[in-house]
């Protein structure tokens, strides 16, 4: 898989993409992630890529030309399954979206900055708009890193035990059951006996019950979705 990220602040992505699961997946050749500085197509000595908005609204807007030229350069080298714009008014990012994107071969993630981007980019170049929450950030770099992390960890070989990703929260429409490790008792706090029983059937039944109970308590809206738990 290949992920191309377009940004005016590439430094913001260096650490999130260079360490842990994502960093190891890059080193192992499981994924290619290329960060492109939009100022490559900036104008003048300051490599300008933004300008004031028509209509007099406050804030600077990324111009259409540098974004167009960068995307056209990338599209000239390969086909892309999606050109994603990180936007606070896009579709809500969720585990199902991560699963879907992990099956693709090539995607572009465009990071907005300042006030946003010229709307003609959204009309003519972008194929999908995604948000990581109903709030506004300074730019799309951190959300792009979130998407990259959520997608890469699903790729075969990114995680040593691939079944681990399949049992994560939201994969079956539920929150995960509580998890514990050694010691079995600490400060009088005990691990549930069923987890020490060695009986896989009883353990799975307990995990299923706990998953539903925690979801009903913490995220009841998930139980109203069309996703049918299949553990």
Residue 31 has a CB neighbour count (10 Å cut-off) of 19
Which pLDDT score, from 0 to 100, does residue 231 have?
37
Which pLDDT score, from 0 to 100, does residue 168 have?
66
CATH architecture of 170-224: Orthogonal Bundle (1.10)
Q: What is the pLDDT of residues 112-145, one digit of tens each?
A: 988 899 999 999 999 999 999 999 999 999 999 9
Burial of 164-193, coded b for 16+ CB within 10 Å and e otherwise, reads: ebeeebbbbbbbbbeeeeeeeeeeeeebee
User: What is the torsion angle, in degrees rounded to the nearest 10, for the CA atoms of residue 208, residue 210, residue 211 and residue 217?
Assistant: 150
User: In DSSP terms, which residues pair with 94 in a beta bridge?
Assistant: none
Assess contact for 98 and 148: CB atoms under 8 A: no
Residue 18 has a CB neighbour count (10 Å cut-off) of 12
Residues of the chain with CATH 3.40.1280.10: 2-152
Which pLDDT score, from 0 to 100, does residue 169 have?
72
pLDDT < 70 positions in the chain: 162-168, 225-231
Burial of 59-79, coded b for 16+ CB within 10 Å and e otherwise, reads: eebbbbebbbebbeebeeeee
Residues of the chain with CATH 1.10.1270.20: 170-224
Which pLDDT score, from 0 to 100, does residue 227 have?
45
Which pLDDT score, from 0 to 100, does residue 166 have?
59
The CATH T-level fold of domain 2-152 is Alpha/beta knot (3.40.1280)
């Amino acid at each position: 898989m290949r992920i191309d990220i377009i940004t005016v602040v590439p430094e913001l992505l260096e650490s999130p993409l260079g360490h842990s699961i994502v960093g190891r997946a890059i080193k192992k050749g499981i994924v290619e992630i290329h960060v492109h500085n939009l100022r490559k197509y900036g104008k003048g000595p300051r490599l300008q890529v933004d300008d004031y908005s028509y209509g007099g609204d406050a804030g600077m807007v990324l111009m259409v030309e540098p974004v167009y030229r960068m995307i056209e350069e990338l599209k000239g080298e390969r086909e892309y399954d999606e050109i994603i714009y990180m936007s606070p008014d896009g579709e809500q990012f969720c585990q199902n979206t991560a699963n879907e994107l992990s099956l693709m071969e090539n995607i572009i993630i465009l990071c907005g900055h300042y006030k946003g981007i010229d709307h003609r980019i959204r009309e003519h170049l972008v194929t999908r708009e995604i948000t990581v929450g109903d709030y506004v950030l300074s730019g799309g770099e951190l959300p792009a890193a979130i998407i990259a992390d959520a997608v890469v960890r699903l790729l075969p070989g990114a995680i040593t035990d691939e079944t681990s990703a399949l049992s994560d929260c939201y994969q079956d429409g539920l929150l995960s059951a509580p998890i514990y490790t050694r010691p079995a008792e600490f400060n009088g706090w005990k691990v549930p006996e069923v987890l020490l029983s060695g009986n896989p059937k009883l353990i799975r039944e307990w995990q299923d019950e706990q998953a539903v109970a925690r979801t009903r308590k913490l995220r009841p809206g998930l139980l109203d979705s069309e996703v049918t738990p299949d553990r």
